């Protein structure tokens, strides 16, 4: 009773609003058209032969994103030839996080020679539609009857800090499962990450 009362007070005081729910596994994902670090617009429709996509919300500044940078490159090199390209999207508002500006994205992409597009979610609508809450945050999409279906949401693997200590490669296993005509298990994982920086309206 006391708890409920306090929650009511809390809600009244802070006008507690829950963020949009975003996608769940099994939902149909929407395409987007976002600017890449090479100045061109990129959509998933540009990849007619893809079997799916590894969409990763990520950024420059976040230590978790940086810790996963080489693993994102490895995923791209390994799975793009198998039909699952990596598409990285920076969802952050650069007025709140200057290291994540478009120009800094270009600097980072050139330095690390990203083999995948690194797109800017300039109006921050894509991360909200997908329901990304942190960086890095992976949405594995699978093309089914010309729709892109979300088949896995979560972390790349189960150890952000030490690649050698990883015991579960979630994204890799999920793609393998899809290749075998199965659904990924697990299809949803959580990870510590940096909040996505946006202005609360």
DSSP H/E element including 149: strand 147-154
Name the DSSP class of 188.
Answer: B
Output the smallest distance, CB 92 to other proteins, in A: 11
Range 140-169, binding other proteins (CB under 8 A): 154-155, 158-162, 165, 167
Output the smallest distance, CB 48 to other proteins, in A: 33
> Between helices 170-179 and 69-79, what is the axis angle to 10°?
10
Strand 134-135 and strand 118-120: the pairing is unpaired
Residue 58 CA neighbour count, 13 Å, CB half? 32
Residues 6+ apart with CB under 8 A from 49: 83
Pair of tokens at residue 12 = 């009244």
Output the smallest distance, CB 46 to other proteins, in A: 30
Shorter beta-carbon distance to other proteins: residue 16 or 145:
16
Specify the length of the chain in residues: 201
What phi and psi, each to the nearest 5 degrees, are found at residue 200?
A: -70, 130
Q: Which of 8, 9, 46, 48 binds other proteins (CB under 8 A)?
A: 9
Site mask for other proteins (CB under 8 A), range 76-115, x = bound: ---------------------x------------------
Q: Which of 49, 164, 192, 201 binds other proteins (CB under 8 A)?
A: 192
Q: Which of 73, 133, 173, 176 binds other proteins (CB under 8 A)?
A: 133
Binding residues for other proteins, per CB under 8 A? 2-3, 6-7, 9-10, 13-14, 62-63, 67, 97, 133-134, 154-155, 158-162, 165, 167, 186, 189-197
């Amino acid at each position: 009773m006391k708890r409920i009362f306090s929650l009511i007070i809390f809600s009244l005081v802070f006008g507690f609003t829950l963020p949009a729910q975003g996608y769940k596994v099994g939902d149909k994902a929407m395409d987007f058209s976002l600017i890449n670090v090479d100045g061109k617009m990129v959509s998933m429709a540009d990849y007619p032969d893809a079997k799916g996509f590894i969409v990763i919300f990520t950024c420059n500044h976040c230590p978790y994103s940086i810790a996963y940078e080489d693993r994102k490159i490895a995923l791209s090199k390994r799975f793009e030839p198998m039909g699952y390209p990596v598409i990285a999207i920076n969802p952050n508002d650069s007025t709140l996080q200057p290291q994540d500006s478009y120009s800094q994205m270009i600097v980072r992409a050139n330095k690390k020679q990203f083999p995948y597009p690194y797109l800017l979610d300039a109006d921050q609508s894509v991360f909200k539609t997908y329901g990304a809450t942190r960086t890095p945050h992976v949405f594995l999409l699978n093309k089914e009857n010309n729709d892109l279906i979300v088949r896995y949401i979560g972390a790349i693997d189960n150890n952000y800090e030490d690649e050698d200590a990883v015991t579960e490669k979630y994204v890799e296993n999920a793609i393998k499962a899809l290749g075998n005509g199965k659904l990924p298990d697990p299809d949803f994982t959580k990870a510590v990450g940096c909040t996505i920086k946006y202005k609360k309206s």
